[in-house]
Amino acid sequence: MLTGVGTQHVIPHRPGLCDPWERKSRPSANRSSDVRAGKTSIVLTTFDRYLLKRFFYAFLVCFLGTLGVFFVFDAFTNADEFLKVSPEGEIWPIAKRMGVYYACQAILFLGTAGHVLCVLAVMVVLSMVQRTGELHPLLAAGVPLYRVVLPLVLGVVMVNAAMIANQECLLPRIAPMLQAPRGRDVEYGVNVRPTRDFATHVLISAKRLFPASSRLENAEFVLPVPDIVARLTTLKAKRARFLVDGPDGQSGWLLGGLTPKPDKLTLTGPGRDVVRVGARRTTVFVVSGVTPDQLSDKADTGRFLSTPDLYRRVRNPSQTTRSAHGQVLALHARLTRPLLNVCAVFLVVPFLVRREGCGLVANLAVGVVAMLVTLGLGETCLYLASIHMISADVAAWSPILACGTFATWCAPNVET
């Protein structure tokens, strides 16, 4: 209360209030706990956890929904193939084979469509929180929209991490089962695609390939003239097995049950370095970089390989230049896909939460179009790189730069 000019107003001290000096005199342990609590509340709040749960729920629903549609369509279309498992018509062998087949296909489907379903789940969550009126109170309280979207971006990063683990760990393990036909287990082998080793010019073919054990049944190795033999020879083997560390640490195929016999081969000087006869004259080791998965007619794209194996495949001189170029594209696309996924999330946000939107349904439709345009741009760049119109690195990074630039340009239009 002021009593006159020049009279100072004295604020009495209250025990419940703390001035800045008293806050500085707090123990350091209390200050550190307050700082940790503040950081925790900034990183992950209750509403953040709520959005994160809804994101995972939406992603799971989208994944199971699209997977179910694929399963039903594929099962009805290829029912005759599954019936070959049990000619007697027993249900249990057919159901067991279908369960194993579609469980492996679900793991492959996650790596194929997971990046699209991530963006779709973000769009569903943002549409639902707008429809229920949960977003506007946060914006009215001064919380930036991109701070609200942060847990959704975190969810996308976590799903991409799961997809990377799926690609690096699970897919290489189940690759033999993914290559097996629907009506036959992997123990019966898969079909073989004749493949030429462009380092030694040996043509490799077989009746059946067993990917799990890296074996060939009734294999044929056509030895070229005059690089390896003096006259054209087809070396037939009842059994062949691929060895990663063969003689002198070289990879190749160990052949047994040979026709003609090894002592009847007319090998040239360089040919003896490629075709090596065993000590007992009953086996032959053919040096080759053609691996068993390259012989399979379903594993030519490298999508079943881990990233280190794909990198080694790119540097393998035994394959064609065209195959190596396609695998370089696949390697670049695999490394840049998580970043493109995050950029696509930031691209669809300005279309879903706009200041002057035409309605929730119209905004959602525009967001879907933006997602499809991003996906189409990426596929177009990969196609142009596959026909050598642009380089592989340009094809991989151009969609990211275009998507990030357009998302930044549209950012001022978001609702605040």
Non-local CB neighbours of 233 within 8 Å, separated by 6+ positions:
222, 223, 260, 265, 266
> What local confidence, expressed as pLDDT, does residue 339 receive?
93
> Residue 309: pLDDT above 50?
yes
At residue 410, the pLDDT reads 86
- Average confidence (pLDDT) over 307-336: 87
Quote the percentage of the chain above a pLDDT of 70: 87
pTM: 0.79
CB 399 within 8 A of CB 375: no
- pLDDT recorded at residue 16: 43
Question: CA 250, CA 289: separation in Å to the nearest integer?
Answer: 9
What pLDDT is stored for residue 252 in this prediction? 92
Residue 65 predicted with pLDDT over 80: yes
Which pLDDT score is estimated for 189?
A: 77
Residues 6+ apart with CB under 8 A from 118: 59, 155, 156, 159, 160, 341, 345
Confidence at residue 355, expressed as pLDDT on a 0 to 100 scale: 75
DSSP string, 284-318: EEEE----HHHHBTT-SSSTTS-HHHHHHHHT-TT
Determine the pLDDT at residue 14: 47
pLDDT at residue 400 tops 50: yes
What is the reported pLDDT for 71?
92
pLDDT: is 39 or 139 the higher one?
A: 139
Separate counts of helices (H) and strands (E) for the chain? 14, 8
pLDDT score of 166? 94
Closest CA to 145 of 343, 342, 355: 355
CA atoms within 13 A on the CB side of 333: 23
What's the rounded mean pLDDT across residues 86-93? 80
Dist. CA 265–CA 249, nearest whole Å: 24
If one counts every other C-beta atom within 10 angstroms of the C-beta of residue 165, the result is: 10
Here the contacts of 68-71 (C-beta below 8 Å, separation 24 or greater) are 70/105, 70/109, 71/102, 71/105
Query: Quick check: 30 pLDDT over 70?
Result: no
Average pLDDT over residues 270-283: 84
Residue 362 has a pLDDT of 84
Closest CA to 199 of 331, 321, 299: 321
Mean of pLDDT values over 216-230: 91
Q: pLDDT tens digit string along 342-376?
A: 999 999 988 888 877 677 788 888 888 888 888 88
3-class DSSP state of 251? coil
What is the rounded CA–CA span in Å between residue 138 and residue 250? 64
**What pLDDT, on the 0 to 100 scale, is given for residue 42?**
52
SS (H, E, C) 365-397: HHHHHHHHHHHHHHHHHHHHHHCCCCCHHHHHH
Grade residue 186 by pLDDT with cuts at 50, 70 and 90: low
The band of 280, judged by pLDDT with boundaries at 50, 70 and 90, is confident
Band (336; pLDDT cuts 50, 70, 90): very high
Give the H/E segment covering residue 200.
Answer: none
- Where along the chain do its domains lie? 46-187, 191-295, 328-413
Q: Is the pLDDT of residue 6 over 80?
A: no
Checking if the pLDDT of 195 tops 70, the result is yes
Alpha carbon of 414 to those of 39, 160, 315, 410: distances in Å?
27, 26, 46, 8
For residue 89, what pLDDT is reported?
Answer: 72
Q: For the chain, what is the mean pLDDT?
A: 83
Return the pLDDT at 43: 64
Which pLDDT score is estimated for 67?
Answer: 93
pLDDT of residue 299: 61
pLDDT above 90: residue 54: yes
**Alpha helices by DSSP H, 235-290:** 271-274
Residue 135 binned pLDDT confidence (cut-offs 50, 70, 90): confident
| pLDDT, average across residues 131-140 | 86
- Binning pLDDT at 50, 70 and 90, where does residue 51 land? very high
| CA separation for the pair 274, 371 (Å, rounded) | 52
Q: 298-322 burial, b for 16+ CB within 10 Å, e for fewer?
A: bbbebbbbbeeebeebbebebbeee
Find the mean pLDDT for residues 41-69: 88
Decide if pLDDT at 331 tops 50.
yes
| Alpha carbon distance 342, 336 (integer Å) | 10
If DSSP codes are grouped into helix, strand and coil, which group holds residue 281?
Answer: coil
